[in-house]
Structure 1
Amino acid sequence: MAGFSKRDVLAAPLLGALGVGAARLGAAAAPAGAARGGPAIPAGRFDASVASLKTYQTPDWFRDAKFGIWAHWGPQAVPRQGDWYARFMYVPGHPHYEHHLKTYGHPSEHGYKDLLPLWTADRFDPDALMDKYAAAGAKYFVSMAVHHDNFDLWRSKHQRWNAVAMGPKRDVVGEWKAAATRRGLRFGVSEHLAASYTWWYPNQMYDQFWPKLGQDYDGVDPANADLYHGNRDEPYRNTPASWYTTNAAYQRHWFDRIVDLVDSYQPDLLYSDGGLPFGAVGRALVAHLYNGSIARRGRLDAVYTCKNSGSGEFHREASVEDVERGVLKGINALPWQTDTSNGDWFFNDRHPYKTTSQIVTMLADIVSKNGNMLLNVVMYPDGSLPPESETLLAELAPWMAVNAPAIHGTRPWKIFGEGPTETAAGMFSEKADYTPRDIRFTTNKDQLFAITLGEPAGTVAITALALGNPNEPRAVRAVRLLGHRGPIRFRQTGQALVIDVPATLPTRHASAFRIDFA
């Protein structure tokens, strides 16, 4: 889905070897109709300058929402092998290549284009799914609009390879938006197209061994160039700097496609899988997103989120920082977002799933540090949910029904938390085995919430609220356990605020105490 995984590093030498034949393939033709030069956008408050975009302020709806659900779902789910299938099915030696060879045939004869009709999404019911997402506490929903496979999930004006014309023959983005809007959820879209022009280079290669030695993969066929890009002048590199193409025609091609997406569905949030792409071209797109929001609502309500990963541009003041499968260190001054998944990014028969406790405790940690969690809930290729996703949503719903006041609409306290468990900061560092002694703090007006990252028993001791602590000079007046009807006994000593935990907890996974001061 995103930047670079361990398997990319392992595959890099093999892809480098494959690249020896690139010169014979010739230069790519520019996409049809792609104009050269910088794109023009209608006049508005924002323009493509860095100075203009740095006047951006994150809207309150995003700061209040805290939890969103993402459908990172599309044709790459069909083989049930997980993420980046469209790329690695063209890399001999990779498990995706071996699976494709055995299941569908050689990629010179049966390429990725031949998987697209198999994605029929015949059990896709966005309204039923959105009911579950809203009950689980999501306040915004994000539909993947186009992944690195260059297949648009909407009624695209610029790409014949789209979900309305083939596959499910449905406007997936439009149906997701309608379902989210009916339930009062904010709606977003993710675009992964910007990286596709380099990411998908292996489809231009061929086997280096018998029996298909030198036989081109189907990406070489000019008839398929508008799917596979024909990106033969973009040799493979495994560095952040090469995540995005330098080809101006491709950059304009991206701009036209994503402007169509933004104008057609008017999303509240747009996510790019990497840094802000393509310099002034990408900045013009973000300015257009922001200006359109102001024109429709009379205020800036749009969010653009991208990564500080070394690819493209990143301006913290101009967007919301996204951290893939990880968190930031401590309380960040500006709102930010973790994007993660309860399993693999696309359905994978062998991939493990996170437990509900892991999701809940990650969410509390992220919110205490001024962040949001955007959670992909894995879907089967047909649009239904695997048992692990069903269980997660069923268990999140009662937890959120009780503990939402400690999550939604909150802001960080003076410190994010305390406890014995250190959380690593940065992308791909999300694993942490928390204990009930790990506490995370959130606030809402004059109320302080202390969330235990586990199920407490006996007593909870909060050292940050000891008598004479530097964080809060007022004495504790009352303590409540969210969801518990009876009184909660406590005592404030020079060492800690000690809370007696009732024998029966109102929810599993984590508990939230509301603390009021004199």
Structure 2
Amino acid sequence: MKRRAVIRRLAGVIPALWTARYANAASFVESLPLGEQIAKGPFQPSWESLKQYQVPDWFRDAKFGIWAHWGPQCQPEHGDWYARGMYQEGSDAYKYHVQKYGHPSKFGFKDVINEWKAEKWDPDQLLSLYKKAGAQYFVALANHHDNFDNYKSKYQPWNSVNMGPKKDLIGGWAKAARKQGLFFGVSVHAAHAWSWYEPSQMADKNGPLAGVPYDGKIRKEEGKNKWWNGYDAGDLYEQNHPLSEKAENSGSIHKQWEWGAGASVPSKSYCEKFFNRTVDLINRYEPDLIYFDDTVLPLWPVSDAGLRIAAHFYNSSIKKHGKLQAVLNGKILNEEQRKCMVWDIERGQSNNIEPFVWQTDTCIGSWHYDRRVYDNRGYKSARTVIHTLADVVSKNGNLLLSVPVRGDGTIDSAELAVVEGIATWMQQNSEAIFGTRPWKVYGEGPAMEAAAPLSAQGFNEGKGKPFGPEDIRFTTKGDSLYAIVLGTPGDGKVNIKSLAVGNAHYTAAIGRVELLGHGEVKVERGNGGLIVQLPENLPNKDALCLKILPA
């Protein structure tokens, strides 16, 4: 409702109050909690309107981004979904929490937040490193299912400026990313706090504290003389509602992710708070990209909050840039919805060249930092990341790679080695990645024949045949064709079958073939393929990039 209309309505309903106390109508209306408004522009909050969307060229060209999936759940350094698992009696996170902090009826996740100080966080140092590794965009966690905002939030008092680090983390990340010339994105996960935190309503069934409630429904007045005095834990946990069906089953939430199958449906006020928080985030930090960890859009289909956020984000981008530069990621999209935003696949890859640009998001370890991954040497290698990147880009996709950040704001030595390995490869071979487009086929080799299908939002990563030197992925740029060989052949030769004489995919004569990082190499083209003789001293052993030019 526009301001003048509000004024007229109020003047007609309460004239006595109006004349007695609010002679200045404008100041009265400014004091009303009207919430955030959708920016004016061509996009309306409907699927039909959102189909106007066109992926901006910057994202089509970028191909590679790095993500800091970093928040208070990284403080315990004990893996993903900690703030849920710590309330599930007998779980790994619960046992660790009781041993490290105490029982969750006495020391809840709100208290973990108070422990988190991010005292060694240096965003400039990390973003400089990620720039060297070839990242073209950087994404920071604005909030997770734990419902804590990592920025100066107007609508969520449980935020990183008021408590924990007492720093504007998103503001710091944004400044550092833009200093490096990177596009900046935020990931938003808090729409699911309503059901995700439900275990915090429960209590132990066994042991000395059986029946003693966890702190999910602790009252504001109980904070007197505590560190959180004056704050309402209900704003964090959002648990003043009945439990979802089968809430005691830890896996039931996955079947209820789309707010069906017995999920407790969020209240209108909860949905509006989420809308206001997210629009405030957009207005305050002007991200180029928003990643939503939701089926389609946040709170869809029980609320149109996600549609309204999308329309505001797109219209705001046009207002700022004069054209649409915004990227919005959503999961499990149908064909029509993929016209409205960028499809994101979690920990997995498409098995086809997709007609619309898409994105894989994955992590070298656990989403939230887990010290055990470091101790057990469990990170993905730089080689694995490079192979994933080549595969994704050959299919018209981008790779968003999470590098877990410790509670103190640093990455560990093993992670640093992975990022530096990616950087070394990129220095030689980035032209085969950035600004490229898919070829007529995305590749060839044994891994294609054993590709695993997608499951739900993705999760086919590592389930197919491992990549080897017979697996090749193709990209193009101008009149150059790049063949990325995912390994090192034992006999020193590469046979590219898709470039055989008479193959319909490449009918032109081949004039020159270069090995990036080395120079021109000898080739022989026959009916069985293009045979490339590799030099004795290879520029790298992870993925060899051949540049094929026509005569």
Structures share fold, TM-score greater than 0.5: yes
SS in 2 for 1:304: strand
Give the match for residue 202 of structure 1. Answer: 199
Give the match for residue 266 of structure 1. Answer: 286
CA deviation map 1:207-238 (0-9, x unaligned): 11231121111111122111111243241343
Give the match for residue 367 of structure 1. Answer: 393
1:514 aligns with 2:547: yes
The amino acid that maps onto 2:550 is F
* Partners of 2:336 and 2:352 in 1: CA distance: 20
Give the match for residue 534 of structure 2. Answer: 501
1:294 aligns with 2:318: yes
1:328 aligns with 2:350: yes
CA deviation map 1:57-99 (0-9, x unaligned): 1000001000000000111011111000000100001010011
The amino acid that maps onto 1:393 is V
Indicate conservation of the 8 Å contact 1:324/1:338, yes or no: yes
Q: Structure 2 length as normaliser, TM-score?
A: 0.85
Name whichever of 313-322 and 53-62 sits farther off. 313-322
Pick closer, same or farther for the CA change 1:87–1:354 going to 2, 3 Å: same
SS in 1 for 2:328: strand
CA deviation map 1:256-307 (0-9, x unaligned): 1111111101100001002212342211100100000000000000000010
* Partners of 2:100 and 2:517 in 1: CA distance: 51
The amino acid that maps onto 1:85 is Y
1:470 aligns with 2:504: yes
1:387 aligns with 2:377: no
Indicate conservation of the 8 Å contact 2:64/2:398, yes or no: yes
1:429 aligns with 2:460: yes
1:13-162 equivalence runs, <5 A:
40-162=37-159
1:174-323 equivalence runs, <5 A:
174-223=171-220, 224-235=233-244, 236=247, 237-244=252-259, 245-275=265-295, 276-279=297-300, 280-308=304-332, 315-323=337-345
SS in 1 for 2:474: strand
1:341 aligns with 2:363: yes
Indicate conservation of the 8 Å contact 1:141/1:180, yes or no: yes
SS in 1 for 2:194: helix
Name whichever of 217-226 and 140-149 sits farther off. 217-226
1:454 aligns with 2:487: yes
* Partners of 2:289 and 2:540 in 1: CA distance: 32
The amino acid that maps onto 2:198 is Y
CA deviation map 1:98-125 (0-9, x unaligned): 1111111111110001111211111110
Unpaired runs of at least 5, structure 2: 1-31, 221-232, 260-264
Pick closer, same or farther for the CA change 1:337–1:231 going to 2, 3 Å: farther
Coordinate RMSD, CA, aligned: 1.7
* Partners of 1:286 and 1:199 in 2: CA distance: 23
* Partners of 1:161 and 1:248 in 2: CA distance: 20
Indicate conservation of the 8 Å contact 2:197/2:239, yes or no: no
SS in 1 for 2:441: strand
Name whichever of 244-253 and 141-150 sits farther off. 244-253
Indicate conservation of the 8 Å contact 1:204/1:232, yes or no: no
* Partners of 2:290 and 2:127 in 1: CA distance: 19
The amino acid that maps onto 2:238 is H
How many positions carry a matched residue from both structures? 481
Pick closer, same or farther for the CA change 1:76–1:358 going to 2, 3 Å: same
* Partners of 2:79 and 2:99 in 1: CA distance: 17
Give the match for residue 29 of structure 1. Answer: none
Give the match for residue 24 of structure 1. Answer: none
The amino acid that maps onto 2:308 is A
Pick closer, same or farther for the CA change 1:241–1:255 going to 2, 3 Å: same
Pick closer, same or farther for the CA change 1:134–1:111 going to 2, 3 Å: same
Deviation at 1:40, TM superposition (A): 4.8
* Partners of 1:508 and 1:498 in 2: CA distance: 19
**Aligned residues: percent identity?**
45
Indicate conservation of the 8 Å contact 1:399/1:508, yes or no: no
SS in 2 for 1:483: coil
Give the match for residue 419 of structure 1. Answer: 445
The amino acid that maps onto 2:312 is H
* Partners of 2:70 and 2:298 in 1: CA distance: 22
